[in-house]
Amino acid sequence: MLEDEINAVLQTEDKLMLDFERVEFMASSGIRVLLAASAKLKEKDGLLILTNVNSSIRRVLDMTGLLDFLDIRQ
């Protein structure tokens, strides 16, 4: 499960880069995982970076108010 993998990485890392190149759809559970990861990283002054976010995912993040909150790079 993605959340388990992210949590394992966050135990030893303070920076996480997620490549969204092959992500075509994100449900509310995916948004929750991103928010949880971002919060955990923020607690230890870390950084969550999303790359290759397509327009559909970008719209979802915009509608939820997360577009300005997350570090999104191409």
List, for residues 13-66, the tens digit of each pLDDT value.
999 999 999 999 999 999 999 999 999 999 999 999 999 999 999 999 999 999
Domain boundaries, the chain: 2-73
- For 2-73, CATH number? 3.30.750.24
Rounded Cα gap, residues 67 and 61, in angstroms: 5
Q: Where are the beta strands (DSSP E) in 21-73?
A: 47-51, 71-73
Token code pair at residue 68: 């300005």
47-51/71-73 β-pairing: parallel
Collapse the DSSP code of 69 into the 3-class scheme (helix H, G, I; strand E, B; otherwise coil) and give the result.
Answer: coil
Task: Please determine, for residue 74, whether its predicted confidence score (pLDDT) is greater than 90.
Answer: no
Crossing angle for the helix pair 2-10 and 28-43, nearest 10 degrees?
Answer: 10
